[in-house]
Chain A
């Protein structure tokens, strides 16, 4: 008898909104092949992999003020069990009021302006098994109140549940050595993943200048790693999530063909030294090249972090890249770049290219190469993980 009760309860909830919500969907399914140019450092790690993913987005609009979006995500990976995973990217109810918007559920938010790293972006946890570039994010449980005013937009977030970062498993490439063992995760807060985090952001633009000022109080999305003995007697890295307060600024300005960008964060810990980090630079676009159709952008960003090498890979690094948009019918695009450590000489090359095939398919090429990585560099356990990836995505 419980089931009919639930149904009638649901009907009661849905009824006052409307009997006939407007429904739409979109999404994509993809297949990727990854070829590694070298043998792994550890014998447990695998070689070439094949992987498939799907991410549909379902959308219901009940009236002018209320809508619901549901975006599940699923991946299967031939090599790494940890990369075969699913997530709810979004399950978010939007209510638009007079001069305010409230989003409740699981959502995704992006803050920031730079290309090489995303320092300021903090609301969502990184889905690291998806891609090294940290641009894939896990769905974050949230209440998000947004108030657009003449003087900018004020966003307030209450984040009632923490998502742990995903890490490659023992068979996976791009992993740390020793491997990260999520079963040994610890938190600074006694509330662990149920700690209530807060964030606030003011964003606005004046003329050609866009800026955002943000503050965050809660569980750090970036774990510290503590070497421990696993149940199986192996040395592993246990993630530890400290409590932090982070204050940040992001600024972007357009001056003719120049985009000038800056992100800055200051992070305080309850139980460690605070630090500052920044990334800033420019993108300059040469228009109308290659038969007058394509754009060529030159990107340069400097990365700074006040911590030593143990704090992260980018203390004193320079990113230089080129972006080409061919502006053809197939929207062919290419982005290639290199991040170099000005201090120890470590270098990471990246290449991303995409081209549409027909109306519904896109093929992508992605490659990364690690070069001159010293043994004490945070990227050293990935030094043999150079790869080329070809993928095909279907959009519906």
Chain B
């Protein structure tokens, strides 16, 4: 009898909590669940192709190799090595991200052999001339936003939470983001970005998720459309690897000048 009560309590607890939550609490709970389910990957590497398309349909391509390190309790560390376009080949970007305080960022310029500390304050600037802003591709930490749960919706037979995000870090280009979260896998499927005037600026769609290590969902592609300029950018990911045994020393400033 006692066991039954405890069991039913455990089962009932999450539902009970959800009902008692305010929209802000429920929004935060969804973001926390997304974060919790993505813990423990330790480190990951991948190749990224970025295709920029202008209003006339002309496109150009960038190729970047990425590696990142999970840092429990803080933002992740990451290194991006550029392979294309050819004039930036060998350029490397190191970022130690933080939840709320400014990220530490260094750029390595191979022609000058110069490691340059750069300011991370301009989060709304375009990444590599694309429609992705630096803040769109930065490590997404729960504490970077406050939240408001807006409701549910079904898209292509999948049940979604709709969650609104309000950036809490300085100099964001957005007043808010509206995110569609898959209820089963707790991954993002779509995000709408509203600019400082609160008009719709961009829509990001996540395409073809695959599960790695039976746990971590990663999209094959991310499509960003800028509604105000008609330009779009597509990120195509490949060759994901996890738990390669990378450590803090692989993400130190001193590593930049020997990366290839």
Contacts and interface: CB of A to CB of B under 8 A. Distances in A.
Contact of A254 (B52, B113, B119, B126): B119
Contact-size category for A: 35 or more
B258 A208 contact: no
Given A135-B112, A208-B104, A356-B85, A287 B122 contact: yes
Contacts of B54: 329
Given A359-B60, A360-B86, A292 B124 contact: yes
Contact of B129 (A256, A329, A395): A329
Given A359-B61, A360-B86, A256 B102 contact: yes
A126 interface: no
Given A109-B113, A287-B124, A329-B52, A292 B87 contact: no
A254 B254 contact: no
A259 B124 CA distance: 18
B87 A28 contact: yes
Interface in B76-125: 84-90, 102, 104, 112-114, 117-122, 124-125
B167 interface: no
A302 B85 CA distance: 36
A26 B89 contact: yes
B74 to A, nearest CB: 13
A110 B120 CA distance: 23
A61 B260 contact: yes
Which of A101, A110, A360 has the most chain B CB atoms closer than 10 A to its own CB? Answer: A110
B208 to A, nearest CB: 26
A385 interface: no
B253 interface: yes
B219 interface: no
Given A26-B89, A395-B85, A396-B86, A110 B122 contact: no
A153 interface: yes
B90 A26 contact: yes
Question: Is the contact region of chain A dominated by helix, strand, or loop, or is it mixed?
Answer: strand
A306 B86 CA distance: 43
A94 B260 CA distance: 12
A390 interface: no
Interface string A105-117: 0001110010000
Contact of A101 (B124, B170, B258): B258
Contacts of B260: 24, 59, 61, 67
A383 B258 CA distance: 42
Contacts of A37: none
Contacts of A153: 253-254
B53 to A, nearest CB: 10
Which of A59, A135, A210 has the most chain B CB atoms closer than 10 A to its own CB? Answer: A210
A360 B85 contact: yes
Nearest to B127: A327
A96 B260 CA distance: 14
Given A101-B258, A257-B122, A287-B171, A331 B129 contact: yes
A70 to B, nearest CB: 14
Interface in A369-396: 393, 395-396
Which of B88, B114, B119, B258 has the most chain A CB atoms closer than 10 A to its own CB? Answer: B119
Nearest to A99: B249
Contact of B86 (A208, A252, A395): A395
B220 interface: no
B252 interface: yes
Nearest to A362: B87
Interface of A: 24, 26, 28, 59, 61, 67, 94, 96, 101, 108-110, 113, 135, 146, 148, 153, 203, 205, 207-208, 210, 252, 254, 256-259, 285, 287-288, 292-293, 295, 327-331, 356, 358-360, 362, 393, 395-396
Given A61-B260, A327-B125, A329-B52, 6 more contacts: A28-B87, A101-B258, A110-B112, A205-B117, A295-B125, A330-B129
29 contacts: A26-B86, A96-B258, A101-B258, A110-B113, A110-B114, A252-B117, A254-B102, A254-B104, A254-B120, A256-B119, A256-B121, A256-B170, A257-B121, A257-B122, A259-B118, A259-B119, A287-B122, A287-B125, A288-B124, A295-B122, A327-B126, A328-B129, A329-B60, A329-B129, A331-B88, A359-B61, A359-B86, A395-B85, A395-B89
